[in-house]
Structure 1
Amino acid sequence: MLMDISELPRVALDRMNRVHEEEIKILNKLYQSIVEGADIEEIDRNFREFLEDVVNHFTSEQKMMEEFNFFAFPMHKGEHDIVLGQLENLKKNWEKEKNPELIKAFVENEFLPWLMNHIQTMDAVTAHFLSHFIRD
């Protein structure tokens, strides 16, 4: 396991917390398939599921921010765009090399530290703002 869900920072909007929890579950499944030496097809399926989840995660947040005219939308979206670019590069490298260590290193050293920081900063502010408009 890469991370226990209980270690995730919480924000003021439950729907965002649920999305983060689901993302960690998917990320843990991908990570486990790599460290346990699963076949390339299984790792590929898990990687594609992770990529799709990240895109859906970012898209849903961005829709809420746009709908309620969140003041820091461009900055928040900019962080998402940077990570999406990194994931696109990782996907291209994965398709060429099929080297699970590339994915493992990225999620350990880049994605997870970024996600934790992003939740504690950008998402915390965003969720606080949106909690004035959204009840869930």
Structure 2
Amino acid sequence: MTDNLASLQHWKDGVGAYNAGNIQKAIQEFKSAAPTKGVLFNLGVASAKMGDNKSAIRHFDEVLRVDPNLGVAYLTRGACKHHERMYDDAIADYDRALATVPMQGDALDYTEEGLSFEMHKVDLLFNRALALKELGR
């Protein structure tokens, strides 16, 4: 099997494991795949699901180095920072994510990116408000 095919198989196996609730196996499979934007994003989501927000933040940092305009990575990294009580940093990430949502729209669908995720403006605004509340603002 070529490296590309093997990498794709690891990604598919990781998605299958994640969907089956075997998050640790999903992480192992994603780590065995080539570090594409989708794989790195999935690693971040799986790490967050395991409660390892610090690892998740590192994975989302990597995603954003590959694609600094991927709003959903700012949203999910912001949520992890929020859980780590890094409220100012979370707000900055929510603001970056908001900047990626078109003015005329209320959501971005990332299906075409290979990510089964839809980012809604209302969720970003709500998360931002919660972080501001934690800061007493």
Q: Same fold (TM over 0.5)?
A: no
Structure number having the greater helix percentage? 1
Q: In proportion to residue count, which structure has more strand?
A: 2
Structure number with higher relative contact order (C-alpha < 8 Å, ≥ 6 residues apart): 1
